[in-house]
């Protein structure tokens, strides 16, 4: 039995759901976090002492941290597809998963919270502007990397596209000014055509 705890409005939960859907793995998703609460309950803290989502349970095995979950799924069930067999390509997937977690998603966080989850009268434009500037730097890195490439690593879809794609989904749907980047946009549209995206990436909320 595989269970995933977390609300689908979380970009971190989206990555785990996307991985599960791409691999065709059976799972039950249980709402937690945000308005759903649960993450401070003792039984949840016993699963994840950080009180964050997502958490995956699989036959008594418990795993938290979204990219750890994505790596586990991709290595265990997607070797040769979501996770490359070539060690250098696998290292590049790891590189982009770390970049998404340490650079891209943190860059977009304030702009997302201010424009999506904060009432207009309480928004801080300076905070939004700083976040947009940092996000544009990350988008420029993606644009340069994706020129002439169909996907993040090699010539096929991998876990790197899931991690970066979930972050790009958030960035590209924020109501903020941004530079149009054709290679990034074309890559994102390729990702949107995948059936798993319809489940994993809902409108921002």
Containing structural domain, residue 69: 2-77
Q: Tell me: do 71 and 145 sit in the same domain.
A: no
pLDDT recorded at residue 30: 98
For residue 40, count CB atoms less than 10 angstroms from its CB and return exposed for 0-12, middle for 13-18, buried for 19 or more: exposed
Q: Is residue 201 part of a domain?
A: no
Query: Residue 172 pLDDT more than 90?
Result: yes
Domain co-membership, 73 together with 110: no
- 205 within a domain of the structure (yes/no): no
Q: Which of 34, 50, 77 is the last residue of a domain?
A: 77
Contact between residue 33 and residue 85 where contact means Cβ atoms under 8 Å apart: no
Same structural domain for residues 97 and 187? Answer: yes
Q: What is the pLDDT of residues 14-65, one digit of tens each?
A: 999 999 999 999 999 999 999 999 999 999 999 999 999 999 999 999 999 9
The total domain count for the chain is 2
- Residue 198 Cα distances to 8, 80, 185, angstroms: 12, 24, 17
CATH number at residue 134: 1.20.1050.10
Terminal Cα-to-Cα distance of the chain (whole angstroms): 29
What pLDDT, on a 0 to 100 scale, did the predictor assign at position 110?
Answer: 98
Q: Is the overall model pTM greater than 0.95, yes or no?
A: yes
Tens-digit pLDDT profile for residues 85-123: 999 999 999 999 999 999 999 999 999 999 999 999 999
Q: Is residue 82 part of a domain?
A: no
Based on the fold, state whether residues 66 and 138 are members of the same structural domain: no
Res 1: pLDDT? 86
**For residue 77, how many other CB atoms are within 10 A of its CB?**
16
Contacts 24+ apart (CB under 8 A), 192-199: 194/22, 194/157, 195/21, 196/18, 196/21, 196/22, 197/18, 197/165, 199/17, 199/18, 199/21
Residue 113: its H or E element: helix 105-116
Same domain, 58 and 104: no
Residues with Cβ < 8 Å from 187, sequence gap 6 or more? 142, 146, 149, 150, 151, 152, 161, 168
Residues 92 and 68 both lie in one domain: no
Instruction: Specify if 203 maps to a domain.
Output: no
Q: Of the candidates 7, 52, 1, which has an alpha carbon nearest to the alpha carbon of residue 32?
A: 7
**What pLDDT does 42 receive?**
98
If asked whether residues 72 and 91 sit together in one domain, one would say no
Q: Do 175 and 113 fall within a single domain?
A: yes
H or E stretch covering 4? strand 2-5
Instruction: Compute the distance between CA of residue 56 and CA of residue 76 in angstroms, rounded to an integer.
Output: 14
Looking at residue 69, its pLDDT comes to 98
Q: pLDDT tens-digit profile of 134-171?
A: 999 999 999 999 999 999 999 999 999 999 999 999 99
């Amino acid at each position: 039995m595989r269970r995933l705890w977390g609300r689908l409005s979380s970009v971190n939960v989206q990555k785990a759901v996307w991985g599960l859907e791409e691999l065709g793995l059976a799972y039950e998703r249980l709402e937690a976090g945000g308005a759903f609460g649960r993450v401070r309950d003792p039984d949840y803290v016993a699963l994840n002492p950080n009180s964050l989502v997502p958490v995956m349970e699989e036959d008594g095995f418990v795993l938290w941290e979204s990219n750890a979950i994505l790596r586990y799924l991709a290595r265990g069930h997607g070797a040769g597809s979501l996770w490359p067999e070539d060690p250098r390509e696998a290292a590049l997937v790891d590189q982009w998963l770390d970049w998404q977690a340490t650079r891209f998603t943190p860059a977009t966080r304030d702009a997302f919270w201010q424009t999506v989850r904060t009432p207009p009268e309480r928004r801080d434009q300076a905070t939004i502007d700083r976040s947009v500037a940092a996000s544009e730097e990350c988008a420029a890195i993606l644009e340069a990397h994706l020129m002439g490439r169909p996907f993040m690593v090699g010539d096929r879809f991998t876990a790197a596209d899931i991690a970066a794609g979930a972050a790009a989904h958030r960035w590209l749907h924020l109501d903020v000014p941004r530079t149009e980047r054709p290679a990034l946009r074309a890559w994102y549209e390729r990702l949107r055509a995948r059936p798993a995206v319809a489940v994993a990436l809902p409108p921002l909320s």
